[in-house]
Amino acid sequence: MFDIGFPELVVIAIVALIVLGPERLPKVARFAGLWVRRARAQWHSVKDELERELAADELKRSLRDTEEALRETERKVRESAAETEREFDDLRASVKAPASASTPEEPEPAPPADAEDVPLSHGSSDEPRRT
């Protein structure tokens, strides 16, 4: 801060001793020390407050960036879901269109009621399949 070395301090002390005298010099030194301590304490208080505000601003900025990234990810997921749903609808329509065009009057075959009642397609036995 100030570039004051030991020789400058000695000169200041000698001038203060000559100007103030030996009886008032200790009181003035205590008073100057008190003001220097108060100034340092105030400086540290301001510095700490600025550091806290900067940390809070950085945290807010990080939170905003995270929220923005989350919104972007949500938007991409919604777009992907909509695209997948469109593709699924197109696939469903393409599967239904040829089936309904070739046999519009035939009902769809009903699935077997129970898997155990389904006969085996190979082999000579007509017994139902048991697992």
| Measured distance CA(57)–CA(65) in Å, rounded | 12
- CA atoms 91, 94, 99, 100: torsion sign: positive
The per-residue pLDDT string of the chain (131 residues; one tens digit each, 9 = 90 and over) reads 567 788 998 898 899 888 888 889 889 889 989 999 999 999 999 999 999 999 999 999 999 999 999 999 999 999 999 999 999 999 998 888 766 555 555 556 666 555 455 555 555 555 555 55
Stretch (H or E) spanning 41:
helix 25-102
Q: Which of 72, 68, 44 has its CA nearest to residue 60?
A: 68
| Measured distance CA(51)–CA(57) in Å, rounded | 10
> pTM above 0.85?
no
| Measured distance CA(88)–CA(86) in Å, rounded | 5
